[in-house]
Structures are given as structure tokens and as C-alpha cells.
Amino acid sequence: MRIAMIGAGFGGMAAAYDLRKAGHEVTIYESANYVGGLASGFKEPHWDWSVEKFYHHWFQSDNHMLKLISELGWQDKVIFPRPLTVMYHKGKFYPFDSILRALLFPGLGFGLDKIRFGFVGLFLRLTNNWRALEKVTADSWMTKWAGKNVYEKMWKPLLVGKFGPFYRDVNMAWMWARIKARTTRLGTFEGGFQNFANLFAEKLRGMGVEIRLGAKVESVKREQAQLSVRADGQSVSFDKVLVTTSPNLMAKLAPDLPQSYLKGLLELKSMGAVVMVLSLKHQLSKEGYYWFNLPKEAGFPMLALVEHTNFVSKAHFGDDHILYAGDYLEVGHEYFSMSDEALLERFIPALKKINPEFERDWVNKVWVNKTNYAQPVPLVNHSKNIPAIQTPIEGLYFASMSQVYPWDRGTNFAVEIGRRAARMMMAA
């Protein structure tokens, strides 16, 4: 078969790998001038490693990704350092990345709340019945079972940070998936995620996959026995097409989809993200903390501060200290239109709170990355609203972050859904 892939993120590349291995002719169209999609990175001339535009790491439970990397023979390039994650409580940060540390965290006191926190965590880790959990909101389930205090201290800030105005609407299966499928040890690829994406693309090219960079697809249409893909004013015919963009873009690319499918795509909710990457002259966290969970109520102007060089060595970045300051936001939030300078000014007081010695002249350079599609919002009974991978247009398939549910989006699940879509394309 002649197959087109729209998007050279990890989903599209994983699907292309399996389809090509099975002997099909594969062309990938990618609108950007690089591969890797949302997990792509950039590099300054004096850096050996790239930095992801949006902070990225793997969990030890990311089996689909780790299996793919093993198949490619690059398992020795995956590293799992043990960075420190911290929680905020009354002006101080406390390590929160093991059961012992969770037990010592003063934010929950040392009585019943801590026991409830522990039991709820254990239950969620052991149960597989996410279908029962998707029927209720995380807000109501957690308030009932973990208790108001534990919910407000631990879980509400996470929901508010990720989902803003939708935080009360997110279903409990999302919370279950986070607790079920995550580990405290975090991994990355030598050279950064972009290095992995580049190696993967090179491998695909070597196998005979054509990757067309800077090729923005305008439409995908059924024309008799074939599907016609239009990019750069040229149409090319394929037997099958897999689109890996956001649901919104899919609806624009294939307006001939039946109304019911289009409506399903357009009704899916998601959050965007604005993430600033800063290169600093000095280490921000004197304690060497990697991930700061910041509750919005404490007045921080971002959800997460992530000191990347407390995860991988600054030696890879010419001794620059790399820091992320990011937030999940509704498209239209002021951060999407603020200048980089104005956003930096907004963030500086928070950096001073982390380290009072921080000065504006510590900043070498900043880069601000924005995306409209960063985090799907799963509402109650979300499993009934997931668009099918095989669309009603014969030969046209769709695989996106919004369909990996009940799991939360991530490169691991992009690989899983990409490979699942490839199997479906071959079986049909």
C-alpha cells in the first residue's frame, strides 16, 4: 500500500516504522522544518544536548516507548537519573518523591489526613476499574474519599494548575491514570528528545520512508479509490492516510467527514501551554531541586518551575543553567499574546521567591514556546466521546493525544496509539 502520515511527532514516526517494516510505501508530511512535534527541542551552538521546547521526561513505566527504543537498539542511550520533586507548604518546599517523603510532608499533618492520603493512593494504584471512576469528577471523588483537607492541599492545586476553569469537570479516571502509570524516577535520552527524534527519522529514511519537512498539508479528500493529500499546492494519491494532528486541525483538513464525527472532534476540550525556557548564569535552586509544584493560590505566576540542569548535567549546555517556567492555559489567555520581555518580568518575582539572590542579570537568554493543543480535558464519561481511530472516510485514520484515554497524554502513549493505528491500517 501507499500510505501517507500527517505529522512527524512520535505517533506518526512510530506508525511509519511499523508500516514500512511490513513493506508498505510510506511518506510523512511534516509542516515544521524538524521532526519530533511537541517533544522537539532546540540547541544553542555551545550546547552538546538539545533542550525540549516543553519540559519532557519519561517514567520507568513508559513501556511502549522503552520497548520501541529497545527494538531500535538504543536502550543504552536512555538514562534515568533521580531528580528531586518538591511540594510547597507555607512558604517552603519539601521533597515529595517517595512514600517516606510523602509521609514526612508537613502539609497534611500527621493524623487521619495522612492515613486517608495513603489509603486513597494505594487504592488508586491497585484498582484497574477506571470505567467506574470516569463516571464521577475528581473533585467530588477526592473530596469524598481523601477528605476536604487532603484534596485541597494535594490534588486540587494539580487540577487547577492543569485545567484552570475546567478543574471541577475533569473525571476521576484522569487522576487514576496519573497515579497508576507514573514513577518517581524520570528518564531522558542522551542528547535530549530531539536527538532521539533525529535518530529515529534517520532510521526511517534509511528504511526508505520519505519525510517531507516544511510540507503543510491543506486537505485530505476521498477521490474514487484513493485519498488525495494536498500540500504546497500539489495533490498526491495514497491508499491510506493517518493524521496525527490536533482534533481541531483534523476537522479542518478533512471537512468531508460526516457531521457526527466532525462534531465529536470539535467538542473535545483541551488546554494550551505557554512555556518559557531560560538560560541562567547560576543555579536557581540551591538545594538542587528539579521540579517545583507551585499552587496558584500561593500567588505564583506559573504552574511549574523545572530546573532542567538539576536533572541532566549543565556540562551538556556549556555550563548554562536551564530552567523552565510553564503553565497550562486556555487559548486566549494573556500569556499567549505577551512579549517575551513582559512575560519574563511577570515571572521574575517568583524566581526571587525560590532564590532571594536571583537577579535579572542572571538571565542569559529566554525562549518562549506556545501551543494551543497541550493537554486534553477528559470530562465525565469521556470514553463515550473518543473519536474512532478509523474514521468514517474509508482509508482515513486519526490518532491524537485526545484518544489515548484513559491514559494521560505523553510520548509513550503517542507511540502506543501510532502503532495501534498502523496495525488497524494493515488489518483493514
The CA-to-CA distance between both ends of the chain, in Å, stands at 12
Residues 163-182, mask of contacts with ligand FAD (x by CB under 6 A): --------------------
19 by DSSP, 3-state: which?
A: helix
For the window 324-353, what string marks contact with ligand FAD as x by the rule CB under 6 A?
Answer: --x---------------------------
Rule CB under 6 A: choose which of 37, 147, 187, 378 binds ligand FAD.
Answer: 37
Instruction: Give the binding range for ligand FAD (CB under 6 A) out of 18-26, 117-125, 241-249, 254-262.
Output: 241-249
What's the burial of 77, exposed, middle or buried (CB within 10 Å: 0-12/13-18/19+)?
middle
Selected binder of ligand FAD within 171, 198, 245, 293 (CB under 6 A)? 245
Of 194, 279, 285, 411, the residue at the interface with ligand FAD (CB under 6 A) is 411
Q: Give the x/- contact pattern for ligand FAD in 177-216, rule: CB under 6 A.
A: ---------------------------------------x
> What are the C-alpha distances in Å from 193 to residues 57, 211, 330?
9, 18, 26
Tell me whether residue 151 or residue 405 sits nearer to ligand FAD (CB atom): 405
Q: Kindly indicate which of the ranges 85-93, 276-284, 345-353, 405-413 contains the residues binding ligand FAD, using the contact rule CB under 6 A.
A: 405-413
Q: Which residue, 10 or 96, has its beta carbon nearer to ligand FAD?
A: 10
Residues 41-60 that bind ligand FAD (CB under 6 A): 54-58
* Residue 171 and residue 380 in contact, taking contact as beta carbons nearer than 8 Å: yes
User: Which contacts qualify for 265-270: CB closer than 8 Å, 24 or more apart?
Assistant: 265/387, 267/385, 268/376, 268/377, 268/385, 268/387, 268/402, 269/166, 269/376, 269/377, 269/379, 270/246, 270/372, 270/373, 270/374, 270/375, 270/376, 270/377, 270/401, 270/402
Measure Cα distances from 194 to 122, 229, 374 in Å: 36, 27, 18
Identity of the residue numbered 331? V
Closest approach of Cβ 224 to ligand FAD, in Å? 23
Q: Which parts of this chain interact with ligand FAD (CB under 6 A)?
A: 6-12, 29-32, 37-39, 54-58, 216-217, 244-245, 249, 273, 275, 326, 371, 374, 400-401, 409-412, 414
